Amino acid sequence: MGRCNKEIFAKGQPIAVVWSKTEEDTEKWVKVIRKKAKARVDWHVSGGRDQILHLGDAKSRKRVEAAIDELASTFKGTILKRFKIGERGL
pLDDT (tens digit per residue) in 33-58:
999 999 999 999 988 899 999 999 99
For residue 87, tell me if it sits in a domain: no
Query: Is pTM beyond 0.85 here?
Result: yes
Question: What integer pLDDT is reported at residue 39 of this predicted model?
Answer: 97
Buried b (16+ CB within 10 A) or exposed e, 39-76: bbbbbbeeeebbbbbbbbeeebbebbbebbeeeeeebe
Question: pLDDT tens-digit profile of 9-35?
Answer: 999 999 999 999 999 999 999 999 999
Note the pLDDT tens digit of each residue in 52-79: 999 999 999 999 999 999 999 999 999 9
Query: What's 57's domain CATH number?
Result: 3.30.70.600
Range of the domain at 72: 6-82
Q: Is residue 90 included in any domain, yes or no?
A: no
Count of domains forming the chain: 1
Is position 22 within any domain? Answer: yes
Give bridge partners of residue 14 from the DSSP assignment.
Answer: 53
Residues with Cβ within 8 Å of 33's Cβ and at least 6 positions away in sequence, in order, are 39, 41, 52, 64, 67, 68, 71
End-to-end CA, the chain: 20
